[in-house]
Amino acid sequence: MSFKMKYEVKADYIAKGKRRPGTFITPKFGVLHDTGNPGSTAKNNRDYFNNTPNDPTSASAHTFIDDKVIIESVPATTGKTERAHHVRYQMPQDNALYGDDSNDIGIGVELCFGGKINFEEAYKRYVWYCAYVSYKFGFSPKKWIGHEKLDPDRKTDPTNALKKYGKTYAGLLADIIKEYEECTKEITSAAPKPKPEDIKEADDMLEKAVVINAFPDFPFAELLASRIKAPIYVRGALPSGKIAKEVFVVGGTKDGLQADSFVMLTGKNRFEVAAAVNAYLNR
Ligand SMILES: [Zn+2]
């Protein structure tokens, strides 16, 4: 199974420190966040976290997404996956649902919104990226949960951002599942089914074709081909199988050729071949 790569995922990691300890994790689910900071772009957020590596809160997230870019500030899909700190450790819900803390087995994804950010574009990238993360780490696209569900007393993201644009938390979860299905389906069934016109064309065997023995025969063959409106094939570069219903052999024999009927325009040498073609055209 492959995944349709609609967008580029950019690696722009923050400096190591309290926010990015550099320890590796194996992701089993994802946490949906919004930045809670209207108008700040993915790059703004990445830079802020980069410039304050030892902030006492040690807060971070893997990925920031706006209407233009998807930036991984802590390696998730673009490098060996590291821990980010995006949900408080003492919260019980992640352990109850997924068996461990969000920071230790979860990918934290932040939606940027507000200000000059085109919400529809940012939302599309956010939904696509969450679906892609599920694919990348082999967990169900149903395994995404909002920060608001894990830390309900303090957090309202991502509903906080969604509700400003007429979106809902339930709708977001459904959109991620739908995107996952679309991005995995299109490629696994990529082999195009023949259209009715193609089938008709395949049955429409070429009426006539000219086969020449060698290039010196080409000038006579060309006269013939233009008269009967047929393509010219050079022996040795023939398509396999039957090439036409009626084959005009200009020089050489019909050995190895497949057709319903043959018109033999041959001779012992090039001049006899030319004469045979000429006789046919003037008949
Ligand atoms: Zn959050």
CA of residue 162 to ligand 1 center, whole Å: 13
Q: Are residues 168 and 248 in the same domain?
A: no
Same-domain pairing of 59 and 151: yes
Same domain, 179 and 254: no
Q: What is the pLDDT of residue 189?
A: 47
Query: What gap in Å lies between CA 169 and CA 2, rounded to an integer?
Result: 27
pLDDT of res. 136: 98
Do 143 and 232 fall within a single domain? Answer: no
For residue 178, report the distance from its CA to the centre of ligand 1, in Å.
23
Q: pLDDT at position 270, please? A: 84
Q: How far away, in angstroms, is 2 Cα from ligand 1 center?
A: 30
**Which of 141, 157, 188 finishes a domain?**
188
Amino acid identity, residue 258? Q
Domain that holds residue 238: 196-281
Q: Are residues 233 and 261 in the same domain?
A: yes
| DSSP annotation string for the chain | ------S--EE-PPPSSSS----B----EEEEEE-S-TT--HHHHHHHHHH-TT-TT----SEEE-SS-EEESS-SSSSS-B----S-TT-SHHHHHHSS-HHHHEEEEEE--STT--HHHHHHHHHHHHHHHHHHHT--TT-EEEHHHHSTTT--TTHHHHGGGT--HHHHHHHHHHHHHHHHHHHHT-SPPPPHHHHHHHHS--SEEEEESSGGGHHHHHHHHHHHT--EEETTSPPSS---SEEEEESS--TT---SEEEEE--SSHHHHHHHHHHHHT-
* Residue 111 forms part of a structural domain: yes
136 lies in the same domain as 29: yes
Between the CA of 249 and the centroid of ligand 1 the distance, in Å, is 77
The answer to the question of residue 168 being in a domain is yes
- 14/54 same-domain check: yes
Distance 263 CA to ligand 1 centre (A): 80
Query: Do 166 and 231 fall within a single domain?
Result: no
Do 239 and 170 share a structural domain? no
CA of 243 to the centre of ligand 1 (A): 66
In a domain, 1, yes or no: no
User: Tens of pLDDT along the chain (283 residues)?
Assistant: 899 999 999 999 999 999 999 999 999 999 999 999 999 999 999 999 999 999 999 999 999 999 999 999 999 999 999 999 999 999 999 999 999 999 999 999 999 999 999 999 999 999 999 999 999 999 999 999 999 999 999 999 999 999 999 999 999 999 999 999 999 985 444 455 555 555 444 556 888 999 988 777 788 888 888 888 888 888 877 777 888 899 999 988 888 888 889 999 988 888 888 899 988 888 8
CATH code, domain with 98: 3.40.80.10
CATH of the domain at 201: 3.40.50.12090
Same domain, 31 and 127: yes
Q: 206 and 176, same structural domain?
A: no
174, part of any domain: yes
Q: Distance, CA 126 to ligand 1 centroid (Å)?
A: 14
Residue 36 CA, ligand 1 centroid: distance in Å: 8
Task: Report the separation in Å between the CA atom of 7 and the middle of ligand 1, taken as the mean of its atom positions.
Answer: 23
Cβ atoms 233, 214 nearer than 8 A: no
Count: domains in the chain? 2
pLDDT at 192: 57
The answer to whether residue 5 is domain-embedded is: no
- The residue from 128, 162, 188 where one domain ends is 188
Phi/psi at 129 (5° precision): -65, -40
- Are residues 26 and 161 located together in one domain of the fold? yes
How many angstroms does the Cα of residue 37 sit away from the middle of ligand 1? 11
Q: Answer whether residue 3 is part of any domain.
A: no
Non-local (6+) Cβ contacts of 45 within 8 A are: 35, 37, 64, 73, 110, 112
pTM of this prediction? 0.67
Distance 111 CA to ligand 1 centre (A): 9
- The alpha carbon of 142 and the centre of ligand 1 are apart by a number of angstroms equal to 18
